[in-house]
Structure 1
Amino acid sequence: MVQRAELDLGLVVASHGRHYVIETPEGRRLTCHPRGKKSDCVVGDRVRWQATLSNTGDQGVIEALEPRRNLLYRQDEWKTKSFAANLDQVLLLVASEPVFSESQLSRSLIAAEHAGIAAHIVLNKTDLPQAQSARERLAPYRAMGYEVLELSLQARPDEARALLGPRLQGRTSFVMGPSGTGKSTLVNLMVPQAQAQVGEISRALNSGRHTTTATQWYWLDDTRTSALIDSPGFQEFGLRQIEAAQLSAYMPDLREHVAGCRFYNCTHLHEPGCAVRAAVQAGHITESRYRIYTEIHEELSRQRW
């Protein structure tokens, strides 16, 4: 039996079903499948693999998964599934128009907090008249300590590239943005060869079939030290891995007041002497943020994996 340390190391850069595109340290890409029926790999994973002969057209088999630094989940109406690992930061793209969902933004920030990943809010289309309203809605997040980067990807692309470039350098960044916020524009601006890289992945995944990948890894530089991960069609981070009782710990504005609650296991919903609800009444926590907390708390209380 081959020892783990003797197996080749690879980076998962794309997936389709049980087929994964693995990149070697030298930059070669090949298609692999996991050993056994279970498939736990996600884009960003480091894996151990070895070459194999297969009638599926795959060139290797994944034998082991290296320890992860972090892991993100996505969810839809039916299920929660892991989809990206080993990230340095998350860029949450919102825009002056269309009006962004504060609930979706908050859920994204909670997911990043739970995973221990730095999160930055990127406000696009600041050239529009609606920009001031968007700034005002984001003011509580600035006060919590989140960086809010303002740019206009289409109106001032050179300025946007100069602002984003240093923040992406040497990091693996995941970019999320609802439809209409300019996520594709951002990816194409920062990765001039984006379409070529997509084509490369499609060819690696297969030889003639029409395949699409849910999550895509892009290199931003020739030295392969900076990467951007995009997930087309991505709607919402999964939060079901979080216990309802721990939710407030991942919301900085609530977390600041938790120690003042009378009861150590306060849910911040109805208990007397709740410092969080007192902070809401005093205006230190916005009504919308507290409403989002109660909605997510209810979801987590009734839905467990």
Structure 2
Amino acid sequence: MKLQGLVIAAYGRHYLAELPGGEILECVPRGKKSDVACGDTVEIERTSASQAVIDSIAPRSTLLYRSDAYKQKIIAANVTQIIVVVATEPSFNDELLARCLIAAHDQSIETLIVLNKCDLPQIEAARAQLAPYGKIGYRVLELSAKQDVAPLLPYLQGHTSVLVGQSGMGKSTLINALIPDALAATREISTVLDSGKHTTTHARLYHLNANSRMIDCPGVQLFGLHHLDFAAIERSFPEFLPYLGQCRFANCSHSHEPDCAIRKATEEGKIDLRRLKLFQQITAH
């Protein structure tokens, strides 16, 4: 008999699917190829009391993934909001943040930037780094996960949110504070490397309440956008939109061509210079 389940964990080619009544089965895909994601609704067939085979994946509303020239890595399916977690310490990567926001824009997923560890002295530097994002309409929420996560709760209601960010930003601490029984592992930050040690090896979905879910996934250091063309990336920079189509050349790269409307707007202070440089870095790859 075919059953419908929600994929709540992805461990390589092994998955946990939750049935409507709450029962959880360990699942494997039928066949060698596997493109199942945490958050997928799947049709499964039970093979034993605790195991099943995945027969098919229901149509997805969204699919968040990263890619390079050789392969793609699925992050989560059917999410309505991406929460990019950055922190005052260790320092966060501006380009990684921009790439996450581009991927979200491509799938029409709502975005929220959470600045964690706001109790640390580096808060002003982190605020300055994020200032250009607030100016162009991105929501930025400051909190300290170890002290109080209550400010985040209203943003989670009614959403299937996915938490992404570099290792060490405090995603696991956030999960533990929001869902005390999640037992998400946390580790000490490696101050020598200025990056966190990987603590989550798989994507995991948690139920916050009847209509709100959260997916935690492994810390990412790279977020490839090989699946997006130049125009898609260009449109993902909201501050560029008023100037698109105004450059002298239709195929302007906004890097060196004469009469570039984007560079002119940057010189006039209408576009943040750091954001333009991020765009040039991302599209040059």
TM-score range, shorter chain: 0.7 to 0.9
1:16–1:214 CA contact under 8 A, matched in 2: yes
Shift of 1:213: 4.6
Alignment match, 2:102: 110
Aligned counterparts of 1:151 and 1:244: Cα–Cα separation in 2: 35
2:173–2:184 CA contact under 8 A, matched in 1: no
DSSP-derived class of the 1:111 partner: helix
Alignment match, 2:241: 255
Q: Which ranges in structure 2 are unaligned for 5 or more consecutive residues?
A: 186-199
2:254–2:263 CA contact under 8 A, matched in 1: yes
Q: Taking structure 1 as reference, are residues 233 and 277 closer, same or farther at Cα in structure 2, changes over 3 Å only?
A: same
| TM-score for both structures, normalised by structure 2 | 0.87
DSSP-derived class of the 1:219 partner: strand
Q: Taking structure 1 as reference, are residues 196 and 149 closer, same or farther at Cα in structure 2, changes over 3 Å only?
A: closer
1:108–1:236 CA contact under 8 A, matched in 2: no
Alignment match, 2:277: 291
Describe the superposition over 1:187-229 as per-residue Cα deviations: whole angstroms up to 9, x where unpaired. 10001110299xxxxxxxxxxxxxx8521111223x3x22111
Q: Taking structure 1 as reference, are residues 76 and 259 closer, same or farther at Cα in structure 2, changes over 3 Å only?
A: closer
Alignment match, 1:241: 227
1:172–1:228 CA contact under 8 A, matched in 2: yes
Q: Which ranges in structure 1 are unaligned for 5 or more consecutive residues?
A: 1-5, 198-211, 300-305
- Identify which of 8, 13, 28 aligns with 2:23: 28
Matches within 5 A, 1:1-305: 7-52=2-47, 59-74=51-66, 79-154=71-146, 156-157=147-148, 160-161=149-150, 163-195=151-183, 213-221=201-209, 223=210, 225-299=211-285
DSSP-derived class of the 1:44 partner: coil
Aligned counterparts of 2:18 and 2:221: Cα–Cα separation in 1: 27
Aligned counterparts of 1:82 and 1:25: Cα–Cα separation in 2: 24
1:72–1:237 CA contact under 8 A, matched in 2: no
Shift of 1:245: 3.3
- Whichever residue aligns with residue 236 of structure 1, its letter is L
Shift of 1:268: 1.9
Shift of 1:230: 0.9
1:111–1:238 CA contact under 8 A, matched in 2: no
DSSP-derived class of the 1:104 partner: helix
Alignment match, 2:190: none
- Whichever residue aligns with residue 108 of structure 1, its letter is C
Shift of 1:75: 5.0
Give RMSD over aligned pairs: 2.3
Describe the superposition over 1:232-252 as per-residue Cα deviations: whole angstroms up to 9, x where unpaired. 333333311101233211111
- Whichever residue aligns with residue 101 of structure 2, its letter is L
Q: Taking structure 1 as reference, are residues 274 and 132 closer, same or farther at Cα in structure 2, changes over 3 Å only?
A: same
Describe the superposition over 1:18-59 as per-residue Cα deviations: whole angstroms up to 9, x where unpaired. 221111111111012212221111101111112235xxx972
1:72–1:238 CA contact under 8 A, matched in 2: no
Aligned counterparts of 2:184 and 2:223: Cα–Cα separation in 1: 28
Alignment match, 1:201: none
2:114–2:140 CA contact under 8 A, matched in 1: yes
Alignment match, 1:202: none
Specify the structure having the higher radius of gyration (Cα): 1
Describe the superposition over 1:3-23 as per-residue Cα deviations: whole angstroms up to 9, x where unpaired. xxx832111111223221111
Describe the superposition over 1:97-130 as per-residue Cα deviations: whole angstroms up to 9, x where unpaired. 2222211111111111112111111112222332
Aligned counterparts of 1:77 and 1:260: Cα–Cα separation in 2: 31
